[in-house]
């Protein structure tokens, strides 16, 4: 039985949403095709008919989660508000819906070129967004450098805050990085 174009698009979206959440929660290596199809309520056949391979699904899921996360940030959001929200305990604890860069950065060196290219596009997009919120009186090259350092600080701090077993240290990492970026 053939599915309509609308149903195929709906199925694709459902698979990408499920993959986006699971990949952030469990990591790329920790998500099987069985887990993806179960989470999306789909069959193996529908997953493979949509994406052709698990690798292609991962590639598209990385692009999807980065684009979706980028759309969540209001255009008028000030950089200081973004930093405060990004480096919050709530964001740290919401791995499945949090920043895909922080969730996946440690896995990227072992991924295919196509997956890494999607991830790289996300890093560039986040850096561009941050650069656009840095004081316009600062020359562009300096703003871009400041934006890269800010993105590296944000992602690195979130990764460390999630990784440590000491809740106090985790909070200290977030607070210290917020304070440094606000200075």
- Could you give the CA distance from residue 177 to residue 158 in angstroms, rounded to a whole number? 9
Look up the CATH number of domain 73-183.
1.10.357.10
Percent of the chain with pLDDT over 90: 73
Contact indicator for 57, 115 with CB cutoff of 8 Å? no
What pLDDT sits at residue 50? 87
Domain 1-62 fold: Arc Repressor Mutant, subunit A (1.10.10)
Of 3-7, 28-32, 38-42, 177-181, where does mean pLDDT reach its minimum?
3-7
pLDDT higher than threshold 80 for residue 183 = no
pLDDT higher than threshold 70 for residue 1 = no
pLDDT higher than threshold 90 for residue 180 = yes
Residues of the chain with CATH 1.10.10.60: 1-62
> How does pLDDT run across 116-163, given as a tens digit for each residue?
999 999 999 999 999 999 887 888 889 999 999 999 999 999 999 999
Residues of the chain with CATH 1.10.357.10: 73-183
Confidence of residue 9 (pLDDT cuts 50, 70, 90): confident
What pLDDT sits at residue 47? 85
């Amino acid at each position: 039985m053939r599915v309509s174009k609308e149903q195929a698009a709906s199925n694709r979206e459902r698979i990408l949403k499920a993959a986006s959440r699971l990949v952030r929660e469990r990591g790329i290596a920790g998500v099987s095709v069985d887990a993806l199809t179960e989470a999306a309520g789909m069959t193996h056949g529908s997953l493979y008919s949509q994406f052709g391979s698990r690798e292609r699904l991962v590639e598209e899921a990385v692009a999807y989660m980065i684009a979706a996360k980028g759309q969540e940030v209001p255009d008028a959001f000030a950089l200081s508000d973004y930093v405060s929200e990004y480096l919050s305990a709530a964001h740290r604890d919401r791995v499945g819906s949090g920043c895909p860069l922080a969730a996946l950065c440690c896995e990227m060196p072992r991924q295919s070129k196509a997956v890494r290219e999607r991830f790289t596009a996300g890093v560039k997009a986040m850096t561009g967004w941050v650069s656009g919120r840095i004081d316009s009186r600062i020359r562009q090259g300096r703003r871009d450098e400041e934006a890269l350092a800010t993105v590296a600080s944000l992602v690195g701090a979130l990764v460390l805050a999630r990784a440590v077993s000491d809740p106090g240290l985790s909070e200290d990492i977030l607070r210290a990085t917020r304070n440094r970026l606000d200075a």
